Amino acid sequence: MNADVSVREVMNREFVGVSESDSVASTARLMLEEDADCAVALRGDDPVGMITVRDVLSSALDKSDVEAATIADVMRAVPSVRSDRDVAMATDRLIAADVPGVVVIDDGSAEPVGLVTYRDVATTLTHSLRSPNEPYDSVETFPTGTNGFEIERDSEFQSVCESCGTLSRSLSAVDGQLLCSNCRDV
C-alpha cells in the first residue's frame, strides 16, 4: 500500500453519532437504518466511546430490558487516529482495537471528522495494487453450477473523486466528472 496515502484521503466523513444517554435499542435501530457496523458516542463534539453490532447483540442477550440499557452501559473505548496519519496507522488501530471503525480526529483539534473502516482500507489497498490503466469490468458473472448471476459494478468501484482525489464509496457523475459528496455539494 502506498505510504503516502493519508487517513484524510480514505476516511468516510459520515458516521453514526449517538449520545451516552441514548438507549441501546434506539441506537440499534439507527445503526440498521444507516447500515452501520458501529456508532460513536459523543459528549458534545468529543468522542467518548463506541458501540458495535457485537456490543448490541451482547447487551440484548445480557439485559432483560434492552430498552432501559443506555450506550454508557455498553460502550467501549473509542480508538482514534489523526487525519494527517497514513492509512497503515489506521489499520494498526483497527486491528488492535478489534472494532469495525476508527474515529478520525482533525489535526488541529480533538473534533471527530470521519471514520475509517476495514472497507476503506481494503479499497485503498485494491487501488494501490491495480494498474492505473486497467479498466474495471462493467458486469462480472460468477458461475454457480449451470446458472450464473451477474453483479453490476457501478461507480462504487471507481472510487477516486476526480476533483479532490479522495477515495469514496459513492461517486456521482456531475458535468462529466465522478465526484464525491463533498465536491458535489460545492
Report domain extents, the chain. Answer: 7-117, 135-186
Residue corresponding to grid cell 472510487: 159
pTM here is 0.68
- List the pLDDT tens digit at each of the 186 positions of the chain: 555 788 988 898 999 999 999 999 999 999 999 999 999 999 998 999 999 999 999 888 886 677 788 999 999 998 999 999 999 999 999 999 989 999 999 877 778 999 999 888 888 887 777 666 665 554 444 454 444 444 444 433 446 777 887 777 677 667 667 777 778 765
Pick the CATH number of 7-117 from 3.10.50.30, 3.10.580.10, 2.60.120.620, 3.40.1830.10: 3.10.580.10
Which class for 114: exposed (0-12), middle (13-18), buried (19 or more C-beta within 10 A)?
Answer: buried
**Cα 151 to chain center, whole Å?**
22
